[in-house]
Amino acid sequence: MSYRIRATLDPAIHVVRATMDVRWTNTSSRPATTLLWHLYLNAFRDQRSVFAREAPAGLRGRSFGAPGRIDVVQLRAGSIDLLPTARRELVPGDTTQLETPLPSAVAPGATLELSVVFRAVLPEVSARTGWARDLHVVAQWFPKLARLEPDGTWRSFAFHANGEFYADFGSYDVEITAPEDQVVAATGVSAGRRRNAPGRVVHTFRADRVHDFAFVASPSLRPHRRRVGAVDVTALAYPGYERAADAALDAVAFGIPWLSRRFGPYPYPALTVLMPPLGAEGAAGMEYPTLFASGGPWLTLRGVHVLHEHVALHELAHQWFQGMVATDESRWPMLDEGLTEWATARMLRERHGARCSAAHISSLCVSMDTVHRFAAVDAMPSLAAAHDYPPSAYGASVYFQPALVLETARRVWGARLFDEALRRYAMRGRFSHPTPETLFRAFEETHGATFVDSFLRPALADGVGAGWALGRTLTWPLTTERKVWQSEVDVRRVGGLEVPTVVALRYADGRSERVRIDPRRTWTRLVRTSTSALMAAEVDPDRRIPMDASFVDNARSTAEAPSRTSTLGLRLVALGQALLSWVGP
Amino acid sequence: MRALRLAWSARTATFVVHALVGLAAVIAVAPISAMLESALGDHPDGEALLLAHGGAAWVDITYGWGDALRAGIVSPILVGTVVAIVSGPLTCGWIATIGRAEHGATHLVRQCVLLGPRAWLLEIVALAARAAVAAIALGAGAGAAAVGGALGDDRVAGIAAVAAFALAALLLIPAGAATDLARAEIALGRGRVLPAAWLGLRAAVCAPHRTTAVYATLGSLGLALALVSLAAGELLAGPGGASAVAVLAAQQTLLLGRTFVRSCWLASCALRVARPVNATV
Read off the pLDDT of residues A172-186 as tens digits, 9 standing for 90 and up. 999 999 999 999 999
pLDDT at position B278 over 50: no
- Percent of chain B at pLDDT > 70 equals 90
Average pLDDT over all residues of chain B = 81
Between A171 and B232, the more confident residue is: A171
Which pLDDT score is estimated for B240?
52
**Which residues touch A177 (CB under 8 Å, ≥6 apart)?**
A6, A7, A8, A9, A196, A200, A201, A202, A203
- Percent of chain A at pLDDT > 90 equals 88
Which pLDDT score is estimated for B274?
65
Which pLDDT score is estimated for B2?
79
C-alpha span between A266 and A413 (Å, rounded): 28
Which pLDDT score is estimated for A58?
72
Q: Quick one: average pLDDT of A220-227?
A: 96
C-alpha span between A187 and A288 (Å, rounded): 7
Nearest CA in chain B to A473: B42
Best CA proximity match to A297, nearest among A237, A255, A359: A237
Interface contact B226, partner A, CB < 8 A: yes
3-state per-residue secondary structure call for A463-529: CCCCCEEEEEEEEEECCCCCCCEEEEEEEEECCCCCCCEEEEEEECCCCEEEEEECCCCCEEEEEEE
Q: Quick one: average pLDDT of A458-481?
A: 96
pLDDT at position B1 over 80: no
Between B280 and B151, the more confident residue is: B151
Contacts 24+ apart (CB under 8 A), B179-182: B179/B122, B179/B126, B179/B129, B180/B91, B180/B95, B180/B215, B180/B265, B180/B266, B180/B269, B181/B211, B181/B269, B181/B272, B181/B273, B181/B281, B182/B122, B182/B125, B182/B126
Chosen from B154, B220, B251 to mutate, greatest number of chain A CBs within 10 A: B154
Q: Which segments within A362-428 are labelled E, that is strand? A: 364-366
Read off the pLDDT of residues B157-177 as tens digits, 9 standing for 90 and up. 888 888 888 887 777 777 888
CA dihedral B224, B225, B230, B234 (to 10 degrees): 90
Read off the pLDDT of residues A356-406 as tens digits, 9 standing for 90 and up. 999 998 888 999 999 999 999 989 999 999 999 998 899 999 999 999 999
Nearest CA in chain B to A469: B43
pLDDT at position A471 over 90: yes
- The C-alpha angle with vertex B271 and arms to B265 and B277, in degrees rounded to 5, equals 110
From chain A, pick out residues whose CB is under 8 angstroms from the CB of B240.
Answer: none
From chain A, pick out residues whose CB is under 8 angstroms from the CB of B127.
Answer: none
From chain B, pick out residues whose CB is under 8 angstroms from the CB of A507.
Answer: none
Task: Please state which of the ranges A128-137, A437-446, B120-129 shows the lowest mean pLDDT.
Answer: B120-129
Best CA proximity match to B116, nearest among B93, B95, B97: B93
C-alpha span between A420 and A386 (Å, rounded): 28
Interface contact B215, partner A, CB < 8 A: no
- As a residue count, chain A comes to 585
Nearest chain A CA: its distance from B93 CA (Å): 10
Task: Please state which of the ranges A120-129, A437-446, B129-138 shows the lowest mean pLDDT.
Answer: B129-138
Q: Quick one: average pLDDT of B24-41?
A: 90
Nearest chain B CA: its distance from A319 CA (Å): 29
Q: Quick one: average pLDDT of A93-112?
A: 96
Read off the pLDDT of residues A326-364 as tens digits, 9 standing for 90 and up. 999 999 999 999 999 999 999 999 999 999 999 998 888
Q: Quick one: average pLDDT of A275-302?
A: 93
What does DSSP say about strands A231-237 and A270-275: parallel, antiparallel, or unpaired?
A: parallel
Q: In this structure, are residues A384 and A329 in contact, taking their beta carbons and an 8 Å threshold?
A: no
Read off the pLDDT of residues A412-434 as tens digits, 9 standing for 90 and up. 999 999 999 999 999 999 999 99
Of A240, A367, A581, the CB nearest to B21: A581
C-alpha span between A311 and A149 (Å, rounded): 32
Looking at mean pLDDT, say which of A187-201, B92-106, B120-134 comes out highest: A187-201
Q: Count CA within 13 A, CB hemisphere, residue A20.
A: 28
Task: Please state which of the ranges A561-575, B33-47, B53-67, B151-165 shows the lowest mean pLDDT.
Answer: A561-575
CA distances from B112 to A576, B90, B93, B185, B213 (A): 23, 5, 4, 14, 29
Q: Which segments within A11-110 are labelled E, that is strand? A: 15-25, 32-38, 69-77, 80-81, 97-106
Does the CA dihedral B254-B259-B260-B265 come out positive or negative? positive
Best CA proximity match to A37, nearest among A165, A153, A172, A146: A146
Nearest chain B CA: its distance from A242 CA (Å): 10
From chain A, pick out residues whose CB is under 8 angstroms from the CB of B47.
Answer: 566-568
Read off the pLDDT of residues A12-70 as tens digits, 9 standing for 90 and up. 999 999 999 999 999 999 999 999 999 999 999 999 999 999 987 776 666 788 999 99
Q: In this structure, are residues A40 and A164 in contact, taking their beta carbons and an 8 Å threshold?
A: yes
What's the pTM value of the predicted model, to 2 decimals? 0.91
3-state per-residue secondary structure call for A241-298: CHHHHHHHHHHHHHHHHHHHHHHCCCCCCEEEEEECCCCCHHHCCEEECCEEECCCCC
Best CA proximity match to A64, nearest among A121, A124, A14, A122: A124
Residue A129's pLDDT band (cuts 50, 70, 90): very high
Read off the pLDDT of residues A528-577 as tens digits, 9 standing for 90 and up. 999 999 999 999 999 999 999 899 999 999 999 887 666 778 778 888 88
Q: Quick one: average pLDDT of A286-299?
A: 94
Chosen from B21, B98, B230 to mutate, greatest number of chain A CBs within 10 A: B21
Q: Is A325 helix (H, G, I), strand (E, B) or coil?
A: strand
Q: In this structure, are residues A68 and A141 in contact, taking their beta carbons and an 8 Å threshold?
A: no
C-alpha span between B55 and B74 (Å, rounded): 22
Which pLDDT score is estimated for A25?
97
CA distances from A127 to A43, A155, A221, A285, A371 (A): 10, 23, 20, 10, 24
Which pLDDT score is estimated for A470?
96
Q: In this structure, are residues A276 and A286 in contact, taking their beta carbons and an 8 Å threshold?
A: no
Nearest CA in chain B to A370: B56
Read off the pLDDT of residues A486-534 as tens digits, 9 standing for 90 and up. 999 999 999 899 999 999 999 999 999 999 999 999 999 999 999 999 9
CA distances from A520 to A468, A497, A539, B177 (A): 12, 9, 15, 70
pLDDT at position B280 over 50: no
Q: Count CA within 13 A, CB hemisphere, residue B242.
A: 14
Strand partners, A8: A17, A177
Read off the pLDDT of residues B96-127 as tens digits, 9 standing for 90 and up. 888 876 667 788 888 888 888 888 888 888 88
Average pLDDT over all residues of chain A = 95
Cβ within 8 Å, pair A557-B80: no
pLDDT at position B276 over 60: no
Nearest chain B CA: its distance from A272 CA (Å): 21
Nearest chain B CA: its distance from A153 CA (Å): 45
- One-letter amino acid identity for A313? L
Of B43, B94, B252, the CB nearest to A552: B43
Chosen from B21, B36, B59 to mutate, greatest number of chain A CBs within 10 A: B59
Nearest chain A CA: its distance from B104 CA (Å): 17
- Counting beta carbons within 10 angstroms of the beta carbon of residue B277, is it exposed (0 to 12), middle (13 to 18) or buried (19 or more)? exposed
Which pLDDT score is estimated for B105?
79
Which pLDDT score is estimated for B133?
81
Which pLDDT score is estimated for B116?
84
Interface contact B14, partner A, CB < 8 A: no
C-alpha span between A281 and A274 (Å, rounded): 11
